[in-house]
Amino acid sequence: MKSLHPRHAPPGNQAGLTLIEIMIAMTISLILLAGVIQIFISNKQTYRMQEAAAQIQEGGRFAVQMMDHDLRMTGYFGCGSLITAPVNRVDLNGDGIPDSNADFSGEGLQGFEHADLPIAISNTQSLTADEVLPDTDIISISRGEDSGIRLVGNLTSVNANIQLDEALAGGRFKAKDTLMISDCTDGDIIAATNVSSGSGKITIAHANSANTTNFLSKAYGPDAEVMSLVSHIYYIGTGSSGRPALFRYALGNNGVMVAQELVEGVEDMQITYGEDTDGDKTANVYVDANAVADMAQVVSVRIDLTLSSLEDNIIAPPAGAAAGGGADGDRRLRRSFSTTTTIRNRVE
């Protein structure tokens, strides 16, 4: 019978690890892991910063471009400028009072400070201080939406229906739309009471049930254009997420102004108006809305917007500040956007 002898590791081979060796290995592993985690956190923070900057850039560019387009076209009535003031005939609720959202006061431009609230935006609606963030400005713009749709033939009388080419105007207009008609000499703002089609024509009625009268200021000819009235009121309010946002009221069907949230994260809007005081079509001074002597003399508008990131804790806290510190305590990324827009219809 063979005797059992303990087996020994061959010379030169390691039989195990000592406790010290294990602790050293663990320490090195923890250092490497900490480095990997730090790189991950740094990359994530960089990504959040870039994403926030892109979001602000996109929102600011969209807001500026939208308002810039509206401002350039302020008071547009079918041509560069209107020789005589348009006749306001819209009376959708039949009370005999022209609707305020179809008013071309200041030739389509009105500016307000927060202290001016509430302001009427239609005969039945008002913009109140509860809707607008404190110390922010409000601007109202009215203009025509160029359609290129002209009358078919001449109006037989000042109270005749308006007829358009169905191939061009089909589906563009509907009953209770607020419309403009202009031949670049005279113009009217009307409410369409009925829109029908037949024999290749679109016929638009403008009865006095929705207008102060069914008489236009003149019998327009085929050189007259019909277009939709655009009425926008821009302001800063509280968005659906609870964050500040750029809003606008837009004129909808039946004369109702509809609130629309445009850009989230817009915290402030300050507006100054370039007033032409010597008639040379150039702004002599930029002033707040309450300092403008005559809105019809404003030839350019300067808008300053402040946007913030949707997420907080984006930027590092100031040196020595507690965590979560910063100018507003939220450490959001902020950026200002500024644009100065010339009102084309007032300088050409």
Cβ(271)–Cβ(337) below 8 Å: no
Paired sense of beta strands 266-275 and 298-308, if any? antiparallel
d(CA 155, CA 74): 28
In a domain, 20, yes or no: no
Whether residue 14 is contained in a domain is answered as no
Q: Tell how far CA 209 is from the center of its chain.
A: 33
Question: Does a structural domain hold residue 98?
Answer: yes
User: What average pLDDT is seen over the chain?
Assistant: 86
- Torsional sign, CA 166, 91, 114, 106: positive
Name which of 120, 43, 132, 110 is nearest 294 in CA terms. Answer: 110
Who's near 64: CB < 8 A, 6+ residues apart? 303, 305, 337, 339
Q: Note whether 258 and 249 are within 8 A (CB).
A: yes
User: Cα–Cα distances in Å, from 21 out to 6, 27, 60, 208?
Assistant: 26, 10, 58, 98
270 within a domain of the structure (yes/no): yes
CA torsion 77-257-60-295 (nearest 10°) is 50
Q: Are 139 and 233 in contact (CB under 8 A)?
A: yes
Question: Residue 3, by phi and psi: left (phi above 0), alpha (psi -120 to 50) or beta?
Answer: beta
Asked whether the beta carbons of 286 and 311 are under 8 A apart, the reply is no
Q: Give me the phi and psi of 262, to 5 degrees please.
A: -100, -55
Residue 42 included in any domain? no
126-127/119-120 β-pairing: antiparallel
Whether residue 35 lies inside any domain: the answer is no
Q: How confident is the model at residue 20 (pLDDT cuts 50, 70, 90)?
A: confident
With respect to residue 330, please indicate whether it lies within any of the assigned structural domains: yes
pLDDT of 209-243, one tens digit each?
899 888 998 899 998 999 999 999 999 999 999 99
Number of domains the chain contains: 1
Domain that holds residue 192: 52-347
- Please give the order of strands across the beta sheet that includes 194-198: 162-165, 201-205, 194-198
Of residues 48 and 266, which shows the higher confidence score?
266
Q: Please check the confidence at residue 36 and state whether its pLDDT lies above 90.
A: no
From the CB of residue 256, how many other CB atoms can be counted at a distance below 10 Å?
A: 15
In a domain, 331, yes or no: yes
Q: Is cis: bond before 244, omega within 30 of 0? A: no
Mean pLDDT to the nearest integer, 151-165: 88
Return the pLDDT at 326: 44
- 41-68 pLDDT per residue, tens: 666 767 677 788 889 999 999 999 999 9
